[in-house]
Amino acid sequence: MAQQLNGNSTQGLLQGKTFAEFFAGIGLMRMGLEKRGWAVKFSNDIDPEKKEMYQAHFGDTDQHFLLADIHKISTDVVPSVALATASFPCNDLSLAGARAGLKGKQSSAYWGFVRIMREMEDRRPAVILLENVTGLLTSHRGEDFKEALLALNGLGYTVDAFILDAICFVPQSRQRLFVVAVMQESNNKISTREAPYFFESEVRPKALAKFIFHNSEVNWRIRSLPPLPRPNTKLDSILESLSHDSAEWWGHDRAVYLLNQMSPRHKSVAQKMIDGRRWSFGTVFRRVRNGRSMAELRTDGVAGCLRTPRGGSGRQILFKAGYGSYFVRLLTPRECASLMGASHFKINASLNQALFGFGDAVCVPVIEWIAENYLDPLVEESSVAHSVRSHEEKQYAKAV
């Protein structure tokens, strides 16, 4: 279903592999794109603590980072680039939140991004990459997602959507919804004669395939993507080696309390780990079940989705057991960095600041995969299209 790029998008991509990152956070979108040769020209975020983490890692922050509310940014300060990225706030879209949707206080920042794209007029980037939680797909029965896509259509972009799970790249379960919007015309209208499963694939599961099928008014441009890599790492491969007398490990009473918060089924699993003749590892989240705070243990070698530590439930806990003993602590900032594919990130932040930064970020190898398999081919196609047009124009000039 891939289609030729038109002149506008070709010229945009021929500016080079440059991008502007909105809602930049601590810079993991940038890290993923830079691994494929993309160059950042502009960054924006509203959170000064995230900027501090960004600045601690990237030495050129002062050259292009604007700390500001996106609703107050003048389009004049945004340079012309080939790509704009937006990992806009998920607070009002997450299944764990109140689900106020794109009209909510945080997630409505998306409309600030749309305003900037609209006001850039003929300087609009050729390509836009959006990232958010999969809750966007069902927010207000899909109306929020449709409205977001139609807004891009209204700016001259065709759209594609797919879902990737970080588990294919790192030992973390982290599904995210991505949208790639390309500035071009498209005749790719969804036929009512096609069944919803026509769009179903590894990266477009049934719910997304049905959304595409049932929203034919959206100007889609569906692109085939290659198979995803198979998971090949486990949680224990990214853990720091901390001695059992390290301050990070919880005291006896606190560890016992966590164990007693587990349901009988989870506590039985934990006991088998304790009785084992080797060290084994699991992760724990606290969740409220039937009005009680419960500790839920995961032991499949994969961490749960990193979150921002609002309250106690957002903190992911490591459970280490074996040889008749067990030890409990929070995941460290370095371990969180590794779970996001950013093991070499320079961390100069408090525990809470680091957990917020990584919990709100994108997974680096996921972005690298999108760049390699989606964005880079667009650049290549634009180069080919430009060469073909130049050749045709020369041939025409000779003929006349």
Q: How far is it, in rounded angstroms, from Cα 168 to Cα 54?
A: 26
| 267 & 387 share domain | no
| 45 & 83 share domain | yes
Give residue-wise pLDDT tens across range 135-165.
Answer: 999 988 889 999 999 999 999 999 999 999 9
293-321: average pLDDT: 88
| 216 & 291 share domain | no
| 283 & 150 share domain | no
In a domain, 1, yes or no: no
Q: How far is it, in rounded angstroms, from Cα 102 to Cα 120?
A: 22
In a domain, 256, yes or no: yes
Select from 172, 144, 39 the least CA-distant residue to 88: 144
218-226: average pLDDT: 94
Residue 85, SS3? strand
- Host domain of residue 126: 7-229+365-391
- Contact of 40 with 64, CB cutoff 8 Å: yes
| 178 & 293 share domain | no
Predicted confidence (pLDDT) at residue 396 exceeds the cutoff of 50: no
- Contact of 280 with 273, CB cutoff 8 Å: yes
Question: What's the confidence (pLDDT) of residue 3?
Answer: 47
Predicted confidence (pLDDT) at residue 389 exceeds the cutoff of 90: no
| 181 & 214 share domain | yes
Q: What percent of the chain has pLDDT over 70?
A: 83
In a domain, 127, yes or no: yes
Give residue-wise pLDDT tens across range 36-68.
Answer: 999 999 999 999 999 999 999 999 999 999 999
Residue where one domain finishes, among candidates 279, 313, 331: 331
| Number of Cα atoms under 13 Å in the Cβ half of residue 359 | 21
| 82 & 225 share domain | yes
Number of domains present in the structure of the chain: 2
CATH label of the domain that carries residue 181: 3.40.50.150
| 80 & 220 share domain | yes
In a domain, 339, yes or no: no
Question: What's the confidence (pLDDT) of residue 185?
Answer: 63
| 380 & 261 share domain | no
| 149 & 247 share domain | no
272-294: average pLDDT: 94
| 220 & 257 share domain | no
2-8: average pLDDT: 52
CA distances from 219 to 60, 104, 149, 151, 249 (A): 38, 26, 8, 11, 53
| 247 & 375 share domain | no
In a domain, 396, yes or no: no
In a domain, 399, yes or no: no
Mean pLDDT (the chain) is 88
Q: Which of 12-26, 175-189, 216-230 has the highest mean pLDDT?
A: 216-230
Question: What's the confidence (pLDDT) of residue 198?
Answer: 74
In a domain, 184, yes or no: yes
- Contact of 307 with 317, CB cutoff 8 Å: no
In a domain, 53, yes or no: yes
